[in-house]
Structure 1
Amino acid sequence: MDTDFRRHRSILPVIIVVLSLSWSQVNGHWWSVATDPNIDKLEQGITSICEHFKGLSRNQEALCKRYHNHMSFVSEGAESGIQECQHQFSGHRWNCSTVEDSTVFGKVLNIGSKEIAFTYAIASAGVVHSIAKGCKSAELKSCGCSKKPRPTGLHNDWRWGGCGDDTDYAYGFAREFIDARERDNVSPRGQKAKARKAMNLHNNEAGRMAVVRGTRPACRCHGVSGSCSLKTCWFQVPDFRVIGDKLRQAHVNAIEMRMSKRGQIRPRKSGRGKPVLTDLIFIESSPDYCKRNSKTGVPGTRGRECNKNSSGDDGCGLLCCGRGFRRQDVTVVERCNCKFQWCCTVRCEKCRKTVVKHFCR
């Protein structure tokens, strides 16, 4: 590789193609690579497949061809982001539901809400997380173990030198690839389009920084009988659930922004401080997630399973939006009568039983 992503600079001055597109004119989203089976062809060096990924912008296609061996990690990161989004919002009126097209989340993406801010951040974080681990595992030949210096405060007797997750390289690549979609939109038309571009770029960065700033030293014990008289330490990215929890809290505290006459976004509430890198920002109020709306792409909560005994977001009271719920007997198949078999197996039967579930009207 002839470029060092650790410098956090623009890496494609030669092949950048200047386009003037509105955000809505770019069909699909790069997240769709998470479910595209053609990703496997890139590992065989068939770079022309990049042109058929409907969710990629022009510059992302160029990056895909140039760094085709990175795309399986981009796909893995996007999938991790989508799954984490669905975990964090499970049981809520908006549950990060997906659609079967290259937009992944459907028309709801067109609304600059705090929920969409989360999707941008968590997907961006997923790519950094995946690439950093790919570097450490030597699956990506253009990077390797982290080269970060020994952190202050580490015990003097502990050795610094284990193979750490390379978040510097991962951050640099993720920034170039993910933000390329917004950079393609050189001249957004109208204040809303300009504000949306700024919103997307900020939330992309918030996701990346959640991983970078969450990285901590990890150590392995050495010594007689694991006495930990000596340790070898390195930098390690946190479990992705930790990242998801952090960004979910940022969603709760997300800052509403507006576009000023000078073309800059500022907090809508006067006196609110400028957002920091790890804040999530949004420019539009969340839609009514209770009722199905084909125009906004909101699926509504009708037919969703709810918890009759919960007073939280997953409870039938909140989730069903006051419409009530219905009771239904459902037959489920479970493992039962499990027995240990010598030497090392457990054999179970399959049992059917009827359980009571509740669904929103």
Structure 2
Amino acid sequence: MLERDHMKPITIASTIIAPLPAAGSQLVMDPRQICKKTKRLRGKMADICNKPVLLTQISLGVELGQKECQYQFRNRRWNCTSSRRSIRKVLLRDTRETGFVNAVLAAGVTYQVTRACTTGELLGCSCDKKMKNKKNKKRLKMASMPEGEWEWEGCAGENVDFGLKKSKDFLDTRYRKRSDMKTLVKLHNYVAGRLAIKNHMRTECKCHGLSGSCTLKTCWRKMPSFRDVGNRLKERFDGAAKVIAGNDGQSFMPEDASIKPPSKMDLVYSEESPPFCLPNSTLGSFGTQGRACVDTSLAEEGCSILCCGRGYTSHQVTEEKNCRCKFLWCCEVKCEKCNETRTVSTCS
């Protein structure tokens, strides 16, 4: 019954709020297409579609999230392939991989929009000035600021709140009237992705003073690198909690009663992942045949895991590389050419 309801769009005043699942995953992976194909958008999505510069930054944020997904999953059976068709199929499910993709895409949009706001590429927003407020200044100084006298720089930091809002407008708006299990899990993972940025803003300072002294510091708040965000979400993926619907129909809880309820920062899922060993277009799996693996590793990139027990083949590859390099006065480096042989293993 839930699945049937999930397939129905919700209509309010003749305006489609939640499109079909396939269209929803398309919107996430290609924001421009949904603006072209859906002519009756209103509200926050219409506002986004009517601002080409903002739409461009959101699209870049989606690309940023997808590239980070490919890096974090580069050694896994499903490696977050660059095929958008594969990712769309994964997004239609509710597995651990789905949870990670949703989280990293929400983080990517937040990050890109925030950065564009800070650099002035977006109009109608500015750097974060709320830290200039004395109350916030005092609170942050007591909580996390470097010791000594300091003051906030003209812009007190990157305006992550603006990025958070636009990420929410883009991703969450279509689901605001829904409470089915997949929607609850999706929205939870969106929040986890954004918090991987917001909760880890760092303070950077610059010293001022005569003769290199640090009599005064100007400080500002800055986002972590997106690689740090990806690493943090990958850790959450490894420890993701499987959940089931709560009795009230408006929440979820851990499948195993002995596991503590997940926090807002944790990733959750409600459906076991397929093995991704063989090609399956329905699941978005390309299989692992022909994938490079490490025959000496017992981790996820190891042949024993990546090849799903099918075995693997190894062959020698010889490459020419620079070696025995010498620095010559003044400004020249001379190297010899050496052949280096290494073993390459691929899944059968």
Q: Same fold (TM over 0.5)?
A: yes
Q: CA–CA distance in 2 between the matches of 1:200 and 1:128?
A: 16
Aligned to 2:80: 96
TM-aligned CA deviation for residue 293 of structure 1: 2.2
Q: CA–CA distance in 2 between the matches of 1:281 and 1:173?
A: 23
TM-aligned CA deviation for residue 72 of structure 1: 2.4
TM-aligned CA deviation for residue 57 of structure 1: 10
Aligned to 2:224: 238
TM-aligned CA deviation for residue 291 of structure 1: 2.3
DSSP 3-state at the match of 1:233: strand
The correspondence for 2:271, drawn from 268, 272, 284, is: 284
TM-aligned CA deviation for residue 63 of structure 1: 3.2
The question of 1:74 aligning with 2:72 is answered no
The correspondence for 2:112, drawn from 130, 151, 159, is: 130
Distance 1:104 1:214, change over 3 A: farther
Aligned to 2:5: none
Conserved 8 A contact 2:103-2:190 = yes
Aligned to 1:64: 48
Aligned to 1:46: none
| CA offset digits 1:202-249 (Å, max 9, x no partner) | 111111111111112111222345443322101111111111111111
Conserved 8 A contact 1:57-1:180 = no
Distance 1:67 1:275, change over 3 A: farther
Conserved 8 A contact 1:63-1:177 = no
DSSP 3-state at the match of 1:312: coil
DSSP 3-state at the match of 1:323: coil
When normalised by structure 2's length, the TM-score is 0.80
Match of 1:152, as an amino acid? Answer: K
When normalised by structure 1's length, the TM-score is 0.78
DSSP 3-state at the match of 2:55: helix
Q: CA–CA distance in 2 between the matches of 1:347 and 1:28?
A: 52
DSSP 3-state at the match of 1:121: helix
Aligned to 1:139: 121
Aligned to 2:97: 115
Distance 1:162 1:325, change over 3 A: farther
Match of 1:32, as an amino acid? Answer: D
Match of 2:315, as an amino acid? Answer: Q
DSSP 3-state at the match of 2:231: helix
The question of 1:218 aligning with 2:204 is answered yes
Distance 1:216 1:117, change over 3 A: same
Q: Which runs of 5+ in 2 are unaligned?
A: 1-11, 132-136
| CA offset digits 1:322-358 (Å, max 9, x no partner) | 2111013446565678787998787989987654311
DSSP 3-state at the match of 1:279: coil
| CA offset digits 1:129-174 (Å, max 9, x no partner) | 1111222212222111112322132335112224310011111111
The correspondence for 1:319, drawn from 291, 306, 309, is: 306
Q: CA RMSD in A?
A: 3.3
| CA offset digits 1:15-41 (Å, max 9, x no partner) | 9933464424546242235xxxxx7xx
How high is the sequence identity, in percent, across the aligned residues? 34
The question of 1:159 aligning with 2:151 is answered yes
Aligned to 1:357: 344
Q: Which runs of 5+ in 1 are unaligned?
A: 1-13, 34-38, 40-48, 189-193
Query: Which structure carries more strand by proportion?
Result: 2
The correspondence for 1:258, drawn from 244, 249, 259, is: 244
Aligned to 2:169: 176
